[in-house]
Chain A
Amino acid sequence: MLQQYSEQAGGQKIEIHSSNHSFALWRLLLYATADFPAWGDPNSPANSYLSPHYIQKSIEETGVPNLVTSVLADYRGFDTMFETAVVFCAGLACFLLLRNFKQKEENFYRHIPTGVIIQFKKGDKTLPVGKEFEHIDTEWIPYDLIIKTVCRILIPFIQLYALYVVAHGDFSPGGGFQGGVIFGSSLMLYAIAYNLRTLVQRVKEKLLGLFCAIGVLIYAGIGVVCMALGGNFLDYGKLSQILPVDPGHIRAYGMLGVEIGVGITVMAAMVIIYVNIVSIGRHDEGL
C-alpha cells in the first residue's frame, strides 16, 4: 500500500528511495513475525491461558453476558480507547485536509412557488431570503416526494435502532461502534433524501466537531474517574463508590458509559467524513 502510493506520488528518484525504504521496513516487519507463535499453536500465550481465562471467568468477573463486549470494553478497554481516538483522528484529518472555507463566486436562489432561479455573481451570499427563496446548487434536482416522505418515516426508526444497539451492547451483538455508524448513516440518509445543505444547517459543523471530541473525552474521563477513586485506569469496579447500583453490575454500567462515548465519536466522525468528502470540503453541494 505504502509502496504503491509512493510510486504514484513522487518523481522517479524519490520513488526509488521510498520504495526501497518501505521494502526494508516490510522485510523488517516480516522478520519480526518469525518470533510470533505459530497460527493456532496450542502452547502460545494467547491459547494457553488468556482465551480460556476470558471465556471461563468473563461473567463472574465482569457480570456482562456478552463475552465480546467484556473483552472489548473491559479487558482491552485501553486498546478500544485508542481505537476511538483513531476514529476521532480520521474525522479530524478529513476536516483538516479537505475543508475549504472559500465562498463561491456564484450563488443560485430558487423562488419556490414559481421555480424561477436567480443567479448572483460575486454578490454577498446573504440574500434576505424568507420562506419564498431557497439557496440551491448548480446541480440541483427537484426534490423527490416519495424519497423524502419515506426517509422522514424511516429516519427516526433508524436512530432509535442505533440507540438500541448502543444500549444493548452488553447483552447482544452491538456496541458503540456499530450503533454510532447506524446513527451516522441515518444522518447521511437525511442528506441524500433532502440535500447536503439541509443537513449542514440542521447539524452544525461545530457541533459535530464538539461531539467527536466529547466521545473520546467521555471514554477517557470514565478512566480518569476510576483512577481518582483509587483503581487503575478504566477499572470500572471502583465506580460503585459513586453510583448507587448493584455492585455486581457496576462493570456493565461502566462499559455502557464507555460505549456511549464510542458511539458519539463514531457518529460525529462518520458525518464529518461524509460531508467533507461529498462536497470536497465546501459543505454546500454534494450528493
Chain B
Amino acid sequence: MDILAIFFLVTGLIFFTGGAIGIIRMPDFYSRLHPAGKLDTLGIFAMVLGLIFYSLHHFSMDTLISILKMLLIVFFVFLSSPTATHSIVDAGMRAGLRHWTKKKRR
C-alpha cells in the first residue's frame, strides 16, 4: 500500500511540476492554458489516488467516507477545470487573440 501511495503521489508531483513549468515557459496564451488544464485533471487524480491508498491502512466506515469525499473532489475538478479552460480559450478566440506561430516572435 505504501509503495502504491508513494508511487501515485510522486506521479502527481511530476505532473504538477511539469504543469507549473509549462505555465511559465509556454510561449502564448493558448499553449499556457494547455498545461493548466492538464495538471488540474491528471495531477489531481494521481495525487488523490495516492492519498486514497495511504488512507486504506485502516479500513473502516470512516475511511470509506473520506475516500468517497476525495473521489467527489476529483469528480468536481474533472467537471469544472476543463470547462473553465474551454471557456477561457473561447473568450480568447472571440476577443480575436491570434495564436502563436514560430515565425512571429512574441
Interface residues of A (CB under 8 A from B): 141, 144, 146-147, 150-151, 153-154, 157
A146, B84: Cα distance in complex, Å: 10
Q: Restricting to B71-106, which residues have a CB under 8 Å from any CB of A? A: 76, 79-80, 83, 86-87, 90, 94
What total of chain B residues lie within 8 Å of the partner, measured CB to CB? 8
Residue of A nearest to B80 (CB): A154
Selected contact of A154 from candidates B76, B86, B90, B94, CB within 8 Å: B76
Instruction: State whether B79 touches A147 (Cβ < 8 A).
Output: no
For chain A, what secondary structure do more than half of its interface residues adopt (helix, strand, loop), or is it mixed? helix
What is the distance, in angstroms, from A193's C-beta to the closest C-beta of chain B? 9
Instruction: State whether A153 touches B79 (Cβ < 8 A).
Output: yes
Residue of A nearest to B83 (CB): A150
- What are the residues of chain B within 8 A of A151 when measuring CB–CB? 83
What is the distance, in angstroms, from B82's C-beta to the closest C-beta of chain A? 8
Task: Give me 13 A-to-B residue pairs in the complex whose CB atoms sit less than 8 angstroms apart, sorted by A's number.
Answer: A141-B94, A144-B86, A144-B90, A146-B83, A146-B86, A146-B87, A147-B83, A147-B86, A150-B80, A150-B83, A153-B79, A154-B80, A157-B76
What is the distance, in angstroms, from B69's C-beta to the closest C-beta of chain A? 12
Q: Restricting to B19-52, which residues have a CB under 8 Å from any CB of A? A: none
- What are the residues of chain B within 8 A of A146 when measuring CB–CB? 83, 86-87
A151, B84: Cα distance in complex, Å: 10
Instruction: State whether A150 touches B79 (Cβ < 8 A).
Output: yes
